[in-house]
Amino acid sequence: MSEIVRRALFLAPGLAMASAVSAADRPVPRAVMVSTWDFGRVANAAGIEVRRARGSALDMVEAGGRVVESDPDNTSVGIGGYPDRDGRVTLDACVMNWNGDIGAVCALEDIAHPVSVARAVMEKTPHTMLVGEGARRFALDQAFETAVMPSPSAEAAWREWLKTSTYAPVSNRENTEWRSMPGGPGNHDTIGLLAIGLDGHMAGACTTSGLAFKMRGRVGDSPIIGAGLFVDDEVGAATATGVGEDVVRVAGSHAVVEAMRQGKSPTEACRSVIERLARLRGTAVADHQVAFLALSKSGEWGGWALQPGFTFAVTDASGATRVERAGSLFEAR
């Protein structure tokens, strides 16, 4: 284990904890929707509208995911997503409902709303996951909206990247040069959404264009149930963002939910899985960003990350929303 991982894990927990928002600062006692990153705010606003119209938790997370997928300026989700190293945008998404119903699409091309296609896989096929050309054909058969990708600015970023063709996930975290790097601002970030409906049932969704300039055919954690998303209607739900290869290694979202089942709060559950990943991988993750976000069945929430800078949006039943900044294992460098 590297010195930096050892220090973060064993010697400086107080410092890492200091960056978390304390429970006393929170304006809302119970959340009904949480979503990753700052763009979770607009996602939650859409989800709450759906809840007011008596939509289900699944309707809430799908609506929120669609808003972010529609943003041409979002370079890591939906139509504005950065392409793979061959210049093709391949989208990954999944949904999970309270009763264990699941649906996912991987490496879906030319379709504007992968989160809705994932839901259709769940509701209209005997399967749980469709990939690549089969997923695309299914989406076209179901008359899902198409989109021309990459967007002009995503294509320009890819052409710039081609000049060096250096592949490295750029962590979205504080105090780095990521804004000026090819693929910046941040060349990955997924929207993961967790919600509690009016009937008390939970659902989740996760949608992404994955790591910018990834190998063709690469699939991350986001469409993998148990890794990018897991919902257990008895306990709570969790979602992940960051380097998907790391999340898959610890079946991250499932591990967070199981930690809650053992009695940990959402924040502590996320933190325990981040620490486990760091123990497992040592220096291999010292420069990566991985973050988890969790919502308990009773509406408690929390997140934790490897690196500082992970934010998430929290919304209560009235629609009041705040963006919080998660604590992290490593300190800002």
Q: Which residues bind ligand ASP (CB under 6 A)?
A: 188-190, 208, 210-211, 220-222, 241-244
Task: Measure the CA–CA gap between 229 and 222, rounded to whole angstroms.
Answer: 7
Q: How far is the CB of 268 from ligand ASP (least distance, A)?
A: 22
Q: How far is the CB of 324 from ligand ASP (least distance, A)?
A: 18
Measured from each CB, the residue nearest to ligand ASP is: 244
> Angle at Cα 219 formed by Cα 234 and Cα 297, nearest 5°?
15
Task: Measure the CA–CA gap between 280 and 189, rounded to whole angstroms.
Answer: 23
Nearer to ligand ASP, 109 or 221 (CB): 221
φ and ψ at residue 92, rounded to 5 degrees: -120, 140
Nearer to ligand ASP, 42 or 211 (CB): 211
Active-site hit among 90, 176, 190, 239:
190
- List CB contacts of 170: < 8 A, sequence separation 6 or more: 176, 178, 181, 183, 184, 186, 187, 188
Nearer to ligand ASP, 150 or 210 (CB): 210
Q: How far is the CB of 126 from ligand ASP (least distance, A)?
A: 27
Q: Which residue has the tokens 């999340």?
A: 247
Q: How far is the CB of 49 from ligand ASP (least distance, A)?
A: 25
Nearer to ligand ASP, 96 or 243 (CB): 243
Q: How far is the CB of 195 from ligand ASP (least distance, A)?
A: 19
Q: How far is the CB of 191 from ligand ASP (least distance, A)?
A: 8
Task: Measure the CA–CA gap between 154 and 141, rounded to whole angstroms.
Answer: 27
Task: Measure the CA–CA gap between 3 and 6, rounded to whole angstroms.
Answer: 5
Task: Measure the CA–CA gap between 173 and 308, rounded to whole angstroms.
Answer: 6
Nearer to ligand ASP, 54 or 179 (CB): 179
Task: Measure the CA–CA gap between 202 and 163, rounded to whole angstroms.
Answer: 45
The residue length of the chain stands at 333
Is 190 catalytic? The answer is: yes
Nearer to ligand ASP, 50 or 77 (CB): 77
Could you give the residue numbers annotated as active site? 190
